[in-house]
Amino acid sequence: MDSSGTTLNYRLLNGQIGEVEAESRFMSLGFFVYRTNMPLPWDLLVERAGKYYKVQCKYRKADHRGTLVIKNRHWAGNKQRKYKDSDIDILTVYSPEADQVYMINGNEFVSKNQVTLRLYETRNSQKKDVCMAKDYINPGWLMALP
């Protein structure tokens, strides 16, 4: 409960923050943004130059290692299931620590069980199989969309 006696649903609130941050980011890139109130696998529909893309928005806090872990699953009714190719085109992840929206190609995401983005370099300087979050701020594939 907060000071007014209201019980806050932080999961819902954080989800809304992730959506608003993604919406703002897409608008700054010249996309038109449409919201849905329907229970769909995607949160936003974005459009630029007559092409539409389904966007799933996530809010993630970094763990103690500075990583954002995004699992490939969502609730469908009362069951969890993996996203399919047809469910989303773009996954966005908002990190409150970095105050940044990261954009992942939907095809890259749905082919895995999870995606892990690192906010900081690894201690051992490992590069292989490490996804640095900064590489997903203005990814080339997104910037090349019409």
pLDDT digits (tens, 9 = 90+) for 59-82: 999 999 899 999 998 877 788 889
Task: At 35, give phi and psi (nearest 5°).
Answer: -100, 160
Per-residue pLDDT band at 46 (split at 50, 70, 90): very high
- The pLDDT score that the predictor gives to residue 77 is 74
Residue with tokens 């970094």: 62
**Mean pLDDT over each residue of the chain, to the nearest integer:** 89
Question: Which class for 45: exposed (0-12), middle (13-18), buried (19 or more C-beta within 10 A)?
Answer: middle
Ranges of H-type helices in the chain: 10-28, 106-110, 140-143
Strand order through the sheet with 114-118: 67-71, 114-118, 131-132
pTM of the full structure: 0.87
Residue 5: pLDDT over 60: no
Rounded distance between C-alpha atoms, residue 54 and residue 3, angstroms: 38
Residue with tokens 């690192």: 118
> What are 58's two structure tokens?
């996530």
Rounded distance between C-alpha atoms, residue 68 and residue 60, angstroms: 6
Domains in the chain, start-ordered, CATH in brackets? 10-136 (3.40.1350.10)
- The pLDDT score that the predictor gives to residue 7 is 63
- pLDDT tens figures, 92-125: 999 999 999 999 999 889 888 899 999 988 777 7
